[in-house]
Amino acid sequence: MSVTYREVKADILRQITRGQLPPGSAMPNEVDLAASYGCARATVNRAMRELADDGIIERRRKAGTRVRQNPIRHVRMNIPIVGQEIEELGATYRYALVQCKAEPAPNWLRARMALKRDDRVLHLTCMHYADGAPYQHEDRWINLSALPDAEQHDFSDVGPNEWLVSTVPFTDAQISFHAVAADATIADYLDCTEGDALFQTERTTWLEGRTITFVQLTYRRGHRVTMQY
Amino acid sequence: MSVTYREVKADILRQITRGQLPPGSAMPNEVDLAASYGCARATVNRAMRELADDGIIERRRKAGTRVRQNPIRHVRMNIPIVGQEIEELGATYRYALVQCKAEPAPNWLRARMALKRDDRVLHLTCMHYADGAPYQHEDRWINLSALPDAEQHDFSDVGPNEWLVSTVPFTDAQISFHAVAADATIADYLDCTEGDALFQTERTTWLEGRTITFVQLTYRRGHRVTMQY
DNA sequence: GATCCCGAAAGATATAGACATAAAGCGTAA
DNA sequence: TTACGCTTTATGTCTATATCTTTCGGGATC
């Protein structure tokens, strides 16, 4: 095959990183580029489309393509299941169910999960261990109106996260990261000191507009989430 | 136009989310799908390729395409410039340079940035304010061997981040998120109590294999990073 | 039974050509 | 001057076809 879209993409990217195509500058149109690379327009199109997806260039019909003034820096972050995350560290994973109770949703949770007045939730507390040491504390609420099956299910052996991804895969979610000070309970579970700075993730999950679950994941001291771009 | 790749993608996704194509199941090949949708193979290919990029399905030559057993959940996270971040919150941004000094790199930093023995670095400390209140504390080291211009530049008015993205756009980076306890200095700058749990980001940036800069960004109490997927 | 090699299947990509769609910019009318 | 609408142009997408590449699985060989 003559010129591949990867070669075109790499070449354009090289010109941009070397400053031959400075930020803000306009690029030739697809027809001209195709001619100069000696390939089909579709080939150039794919290269340019990917560069646009990567946030390097900006494309607008009729206006043409230009190098972004401020390239969009973004990372693609995997959301792993905690068991896999631990085993990828080369450690042994252990799960324990701490508590599991169906109850009416407290007000703050009703607001968070957009629940109706009398919706009931299943409140689960779990611990995840890596090589026997506390790794993550999970505090989860499942909307029983959306997922009544959850009430019958036994979470002693398999964590709610794994059950959820097998029961309702392909959901939408909102995630947030922040830092919290360990309260007495969490300090106890995670084997740290009250007041320690801990990394916490919150996640709300929907399926077709209905809130399925809200979870707070608190990690052991020193936990880091790392990404490349 | 007859059948678009978006329609094909949406239709396949619908079948998957509705359970008509359960996780692990094999899908027809592109030729057959194209025939059943009454469109060209390239159209189906694009739909399937995007689903594969989204982590919904898994494709292998000869083996065919199947729905992923555990769909890969990932988010795409923007890495904003702090000034933009603050202005998008509807607040007024203010920047202040606290300290700027060229010095030999301490050992821990040499290791982090993969510096040579006698490389010098520019050490900057800055503060970023939102509506007058402390928002972010920036502790940055710039590799002067890679970017000698930095030593001459005046960072009193424009933050080093903005200068860097305009001077060396299109770099590679590694980011990590974690929680730290505020020490006396940081507590002072961020107007919080010593020991408070704070969200911190670390970022190392490379250009063509050379480390350009390492930065620690510590956010005010309660800061959250939020993402959708 | 284990290993290597080869054919075939399916996805990955290139091409040429056509039509669709958005929007920039100009010309005209109010 | 402003507002509206048309033309033009660049990107967006579809089609039909061909070739390339990876890899599964079977058959020959050791």
Give the confidence band of A70 by pLDDT, cuts at 50, 70, 90.
confident
For position B19, what pLDDT does the model report? 87
Question: Does residue B72 lie in a domain region?
Answer: no
Inter-chain touch B76–A76, beta carbons under 8 Å = yes
Are the Cβ atoms of A73 and B79 closer than 8 angstroms? yes
What does the alpha-carbon distance between residue A213 and residue A223 come to, in Å, rounded to a whole number? 24
The mean pLDDT value for A196-205 works out to: 97
Report residues 63-102 of B contacting strand D, contact meaning Cβ closer than 7 Å: 63
Q: What is the CATH number of the domain that holds A135?
A: 3.40.1410.10
A139: number of Cβ within 10 Å:
19
Among B25, B40, B67, where does a domain finish? Answer: B67
State whether the beta carbon of A29 lies below 7 angstroms from any atom of strand D: yes
Report the distance from CA of residue A86 to the C1' of nucleotide C13 in Å, as an integer. 38
- Cβ-defined contacts of B28-31 (< 8 Å, 24+): B29/B64, B29/B65
Task: Note whether B150 and B181 are same-domain residues.
Answer: yes
Closest nucleotide to B64's CA, by C1' atom?
A: C10
B122 with B147, same domain: the answer is yes
Between CA A181 and CA A203 the distance in angstroms is 19
Give residue B95's pLDDT band: very low, low, confident or very high (50, 70, 90).
Answer: very high
Does A225 map to a domain? no
pLDDT of residue A219: 98
Condensed to tens digits (0 to 9), the pLDDT of residues A27-56 reads 999 999 999 999 999 999 999 999 999 999
Q: Is A78 on the interface with B (CB under 8 A)?
A: yes
Single residue among A18, A36, A67 that ends a domain in this structure = A67
Specify whether the CB–CB gap between B113 and B143 falls below 8 A: yes
Mutate to test the interface with A, among B12, B54, B66, B175 (most CBs of A within 10 A): B175
First-residue to last-residue Cα distance in chain B: 30
Is the pLDDT at B108 greater than 90, yes or no?
A: yes
Share of chain B above pLDDT 90, in %: 85
CA–C1' gap, A30 and D17, in angstroms: 22
Q: Is A77 on the interface with B (CB under 8 A)?
A: yes
Distances in Å between the alpha carbon of A31 and those of A44, A206, B54? 8, 44, 30
Q: What is the pLDDT of residue B1?
A: 54
> Are B182 and B94 within one domain?
yes
Q: Is residue B57, in this structure, part of any structural domain at all?
A: yes
pLDDT surpassing 70 at residue B47: yes
Is the CB of A35 within 7 Å of strand D?
A: no
**CB proximity A179–strand C (7 Å threshold):** no
Q: Are residues A31 and A125 located together in one domain of the fold?
A: no
Q: Which of residues 56-95 of B touch strand C (CB under 7 A)?
A: 59-65
Residue A1 has pLDDT above 80, yes or no: no
pLDDT band at A171 (very low <50, low <70, confident <90, very high): confident
Q: Which of B56, B79, B165 sits opposite A74 (nearest CB)?
A: B79
Q: How many domains does chain B have?
A: 2
Q: Quick one: pLDDT at residue A2?
A: 78
Q: Give B162 CA → D2 C1' in Å.
A: 40
- The string of pLDDT tens digits covering residues B134-181 is 999 999 999 999 999 999 999 999 999 999 988 888 888 999 999 999
Residue B126 main-chain phi, psi, to 5 deg: -135, 160
Q: Chain B closest CA to A100's CA: distance in Å?
A: 25
**Considering the domain boundaries, does residue A63 fall inside one?**
yes
Give the mean pLDDT of A174-187.
97
In a domain? residue B228 = no
Calculate how close chain B gets to A32, using CA atoms only, in Å. Answer: 24
For residue B142, tell me if it sits in a domain: yes
B139/B181 same-domain check: yes
CATH number at residue A14: 1.10.10.10
pLDDT of B223 reads 97
Which DSSP category does B89 fall into?
T
Assign A170 a pLDDT band (cuts: 50, 70, 90). Answer: confident
Residues of A in contact with B226 (CB under 8 A): 174-177
A100 and A171 together in one domain: yes
The mean pLDDT of A175-189, rounded to a whole number, is: 97
Chain B: residue nearest A17 by CA?
B170
Same-domain status, B133 and B158: yes
Same domain, A141 and A198: yes
Higher pLDDT, B76 or B12: B12
Whole-angstrom distance, CA of residue B36 vs CA of residue B47: 14
Q: Is A105 found in the same domain as A214?
A: yes
Say whether residue A88 is in contact with chain B using an 8 A CB cutoff.
no
- Inter-chain CB proximity A71 and B170 less than 8 Å: yes
Cα–Cα distances in angstroms (integers) from residue B171 to residues A225, B174, B215, in the given order: 20, 10, 14
- Shortest-distance nucleotide from B44 CA to C1': D14
- Our CA angle for B61, B63, B67, nearest 5°, is 100
Based on the domain organization, do B55 and B20 belong to the same domain? yes
Q: Quick one: pLDDT at residue B117? A: 86
Is A77 part of a structural domain of the chain? no
* Contact yes or no for A79/B75 (Cβ under 8 A): yes
Residue B112 binned pLDDT confidence (cut-offs 50, 70, 90) = very high
Residue of A nearest to B165 (CA): A70
pLDDT at B133 over 60: yes
pLDDT value at B116 more than 60: yes
Per-residue confidence (pLDDT) for residue B36, from 0 to 100? 95
Domain span at residue A56? Answer: 5-67
* Mean pLDDT in residue range A85-89: 93
> Are residue A123 and residue A184 in the same domain, yes or no?
yes
Three state DSSP letters for A45-99: HHHHHHHHHCCCEEEECCCEEEECCCCCCEEEEECCCHHHHHHHCCCCEEEEEEE
Q: Is the CB of A61 under 7 A from strand C?
A: yes
Which pair of tokens denotes residue B168?
């060396």
Q: A157 CA to chain B: closest CA distance, Å? A: 19
Listed residues A25, A44, A67: the one ending a domain: A67
For chain A, the average pLDDT equals 94
Which of A197, A199, A229 is closest to B175 using CA atoms? A229
Give the Å distances, CA to CA, from B172 to A229, B62, B169, B211: 6, 35, 9, 9
C-alpha dihedral, B164 to B167 to B169 to B171, nearest 10°: -70
Check pLDDT > 90 for residue B96.
Answer: yes
Residue B169 corresponds to which tokens in the numbers above? 């756009």
- Is A78 close to B78, i.e. CB distance below 8 A? no
Distance CA B135 to C1' D12 in A: 42
Asked whether strand D has any atom less than 7 Å from the CB of A48, the reply is yes
Q: Where is A224: in which H helix or E strand?
A: strand A224-228
Residue B64 has pLDDT above 90, yes or no: yes
- Judgement on whether residues A62 and A123 belong to the same structural domain of the protein: no
Tell how many helices (H) and how many strands (E) occur in chain A. Answer: 8, 10
Which residue from A16, A71, A195 is facing B195, i.e. has the nearest CB? Answer: A195
Residues of B in contact with A70 (CB under 8 A): 81, 165, 169
* B162 within a domain of the structure (yes/no): yes
Contact A224 B178 (CB under 8 A): yes
